[in-house]
Structure 1
Amino acid sequence: MPFASGRDMTTQQSASAPASISIGQSHFRRMRAAFVLALALSVLGPCVFLAVFGWQDWQDRLSAARDTTERSTYIAKEHAQKVFDIDAALAERVIDTLEDRKEADLRRDRTFYDVLARLVRGHAQVDGVSVWTADGQLGATSLRFPAPDISIADRVDFIDARTRPTQLYVSGPMKGRVTGNATFNVMKHLVRHDGLFAGLVSISMSSAYFEDFYRQLADDKPLTIGMIRSDGAVLAWSPGPHGRPERISRDTAFFRLLASGHEAGVVTMVSTVDGEEKILAFRRVGDYDAYVTAGFPLRYIWTAWLARFTTVTIATLVPSAALFVLLIFSLRRLRHEESLWRRAETEASMRASLEAAAKEHQHLETLGNMVALVAHDFNNLLMAIVGYAHAALRADPRPHSDSVSAPLKGIMATVERGQRLTRRLLSVSKKHPVRPERLSSTNWSSHVDLLRSAVGEGVAIEASVHDGLWDIDADQAELELALLNIAINARDAMGGRGRLHIVVSNANVSREGNGSGTQADFVRIDMTDSGAGIDPATAERAFEPFFTTKAPGHATGLGLAQVRSFCELSGGHCSIGASPRGGTLVSLFLPRSKSPNTSPLSGHLDSAGVAASSPCIRLLLVEDDPMVADAQAAMFSAFEYEVTHAANADDAYRLLRAPHNFEAVISDVQMPGSMDGLDLAEHLQREQPNLPLIMLTGFVDQAERLRGSGITTFLKPIVDVAVLDELIRRRVTASNAACASQAG
């Protein structure tokens, strides 16, 4: 069974196509996800790295700055403590020396001056050692001999030192009265045996000495190192671009820590000396009233951090940007490839569908041609039977006898059944001839009964037929098939339960806006279901052959295509869309009938009609099938025609050369020879238009061509021979009358 194997192959192709599409879509989806992930990582990865690196580097630099300041304060504190310890020892030695010179005049004691000068020698931090009396007068000094007449009774440090007899007193910054250098003093009490204040031993400390040490300690670091007292007085300060400050502000976090008793600590604050934000570390110098400080400006930390962060950022972002651009390009390339793949898949699928459809069409075409040939020959057999039956009826001496009429009626009924069988065969092959006839639009009861039996009891059918409906020219069987296709589609759309409303009315093209430039009358058939409706995209393709929204294997997609084909062959059109009241609306526009309003003729023999006598008509019968020709000749002879037979169109062409005595011509269409029936008809229509001509054919395309040329055409087999006889006689009578009028 070749047709079954062809359908199996089509099924396999259609089944493999979705699998291939699914695999391809999955591949592109995975690739796109991978590219998008890589794209996100190419952005987020560098950002996260730079954020972590920047934060960590900043914290490391802050920690290093804190370590540097704390280490610097520790070194400066150790240095200052050693210096102050030396000062305390010097003061004690001076006091011991004074014990041996209780009654001596120190200002004129050259030996004591030499002792002081020798004690100071080798101590770069000491500018000089002086001894002050209880009333503030200078008693002796290592700086000059004899000692000048100087008094410090009014100085704050002298007054403060008198109140602290047991401590090594550290004075505030000052300018030495002997040397004129920046200095501060370390003082020690002189006490008499009775415990009364006897004066001070003052060691003058060089601020420059400490500042030189602090510069060396800072080296190339942007450190600010200084030494202050607990009251904020600045004893030494380095570096000093704005000069040595006198004291620090009390309104700072650092001073608040000093006031709260902290001996060491680290704080971040804005310096009141130079206005910069710094990391400031401090330590107390032993038990002395002095603190060393080291400040690291955040500006230098920020500048160094920013320079390194910028370098790392550039080194990171340049390859990341290149990777990002490459991924964007790859993603676009993937999108382009997917578009090309989809197009190729669509074209391949379409090509496969077209190939399958072409193969199926070829199979159907082959089958249709075979069926059409069989049906054509069967039609000729039926024509022969009809001819011989009528000839027998005419030859019977008892034309009105029921015993004769009944068998002949049975023969005609059998011919009608054969005609229906031929119609079914041609319907299978899609080559059945359309038999348009004048139909009344008012009687819809038979159509509704047919539709009810097709859609089942779950669908209620309501029909509304307007008054004054026009008749239509259409093939009744095709009309019923179109209505059935629409009703079955509506039933499926409603799931087998719902309502189908049918409205039949007259319509005019200009009033309906069909787009035609001329007015045309139509009978409009509206069929509306109560389903979910139809979307515009589906409605646009609904009439396409093989298009269906149903699951594979549940529909052929030819139902609505048949509806459109029927309407167009009938000279009308159709439409589909969503109904304003819900559901789907299908409208058929069938043209108003222009044929004469004749009552239907019975397919059975009318004994009265065939018994009537009529004048003899000279008829040329053109038929290539000898059996059909003999039967038709016998039939027309029985109808009292003088029949001449031509075996083909070429013989008929020669016989019809003027002058001739034929009054009518009946010709088949398909015949052998250089001319066929169509050529003969066109020749007679052009050369002898008054000669009555009737064509017989079993093919609808030939019938349409002939009817379009204005030639009367009958489709085989002809059951109503009486109608043909009446038409021939009426045409011959009219032709003879026209000839007589022209002769007169």
Structure 2
Amino acid sequence: MAAQDATQRSTFIAEEHAQKILDIDTALAERVLDGLDDDSAPVLADLAFYDRLERLVHGYGQVDALSVFSADGRLTATSLRYPTPPVNIADRADFRDAKARPTELYISGPLTGRVTGKPTFNVMKGHLRSDGRFEGLVSIAMSPTYFENFYRSVVDANPITIGMIRGDGAVLAWYPFKVNRPGRISTTTAFFALLRSGREAGLVTMKSSVDGEEKILAFRKVGNYNAYVTAGIAVGVIRSAWLARFAVVAIVTAVPCLALVIIILFSLRRLNQEARLWLRAEEETSRRAAIEAIAKENQRIEAVGNMVALVAHDFNNLLMAILGFAHAASRQAPQQRKESMDGILNAVQRGQNLTRRLLSVSKKQPLRPESISLVEWSRQMGLLRSAVGEGVVIETVAQDDLWDVRVDVSEFELALLNIAINGRDAMNGRGRLTVAFSNCRAQVGDHDSVLSEYVRIDIADSGPGIDSATAKRAFEPFFSTKPPGQGTGLGLSQVRSFCELSGGHCSIAPAIPTGTVVTLFIPRGTTSRADEAASSAVRNATENSESVRMLLVEDDEMVAEAQAAMFAAFGYDVTRSPNADDAYVRLQPPHQFQVVISDVQMPGSMTGIELAEYLHDAQPDLPLMMLTGFVDQAERLRKLGVTAFLKPLTEVAALDEWIRRRVKIPEGNVSVPQG
């Protein structure tokens, strides 16, 4: 039992160590692959790339060399020396195996490295082009000696053999070995049969094919990698130990005190050894976790800082505009106040648009998709033309029989407006902007072979273009190439979020010096006139001229006062309630209220949602409208069948129309619209 415990403890320690090393290898390979693109030959031949490889492996004693090989097996870059020596591994089995499985982290068998000239085994990962074609691979030459030195510290003076083997039995590292490191274990052993059966951990008694001794062998798979660690102790050693302990018992019987001291010292020595090993492993884990946490926190703080600064700057401008128009309106004659009031409304709508862009970037902005004809829409591009100015010529090209698309029209126009403004700035206000529409069929995802139907929209400018590094980061939130204060970095990020939420995708093509092309893929839709007819019927309905008694539930005094004044101006008889608890009392039957407008978040024992649930169950015929600034709350209310509008409330006419329609039409004749 003690021998089994010792071997299993050793496999736990060796497996944790091996998994950390292979995780580091995976991260190194990914960092190298992130720096490569479809045409990476010029980069690989550069001295700067060699310096980068050398810095990446600096301090990692397990790595003998970090190398990059081309698709035909030629060595194109290595951390070992510069210039790159003429080495080709196309004839090696490990290269062919790694090429056959380029997306996996491949572990080779033991070999002598052609780059290092030392005994090694390679950890490889393939480099694929954007079209999926094999471009080469990254190879990390590992040092078996590094692992064996660690195993020496684990077993110390104990008669335990520790090894790391590949899933097919190839020996990657082994300690101790007498003359030569073994190359492969026998495929006829009970241990190999357990590996073939898919077992990831176990304990077996068998005759070792390496040293010929009968052993108790424990094994454990290294994470998700094709590698196992083993720890074995010879049965003969166990017998010798048992005889020795029997002799010790005899001695203890004769000299109990001395024997007790010897046992205590022996136990303490073993405990100290294990404690040192576990402490070393825990310190390494804690150190790496602390470094990763600090890096992530710094990135988060930087991103939040950028967001706060940019949003605060834009909202300060909006507040200045509102303040200026308000002061002007207070001093103007009644007939002159319209322009100031329009300016205040425009500033509020700009603030709403900024909020929608932030929510769209975070994918919390609900879309209202509808099918539209791009042919008809492209004839009304006044917004784009006014945004880019007279110095930019907009040219549209549309394929015959162009499909319709299904999008949120406002978000779609905002996405095109962001791209057009970026193109205008890139051309310094003068040039040509080409918008091309065409039908296409493309894959939905990287692993899906089903072709979906899209309308492809290519927006190309005649500016100087962008490089590959900028193109890779173009869609990141808050990334901007404009000077500080001239761009929020939310434009293209909003475009990507809009495309993904609409079921499509987007891309950007770098091209120097021929301009930049941004491509949108929007799902095909079918134009329906049903909604247009319904909306027209509502717009043509005669408004109720009678005064409507309204209960307005709002805890913010300033907001309540403004909303009450607004609804009173529309002709409603408004009663204000400061919270849901007060509204609950006022709404106990019988009451005279014909419609309820309520906020969601309010102080007190009852929330706005709880008030909505009560009215939905107890007074389903009483029209209820909820106002909230949170999308998740609006979605929850809509699932209850309660209409919800998002703050800030700029669609006042639509709200007035909804109230009058609900109050005027008798019960059962109209279904509740969903926000």
More helix by share: 1
Larger Rg: 1
Q: Which has the bigger relative contact order, CA under 8 A and spacing at least 6?
A: 1
TM-score (norm 1): 0.39
What is the TM-score with the length of structure 2 in the denominator?
Answer: 0.43
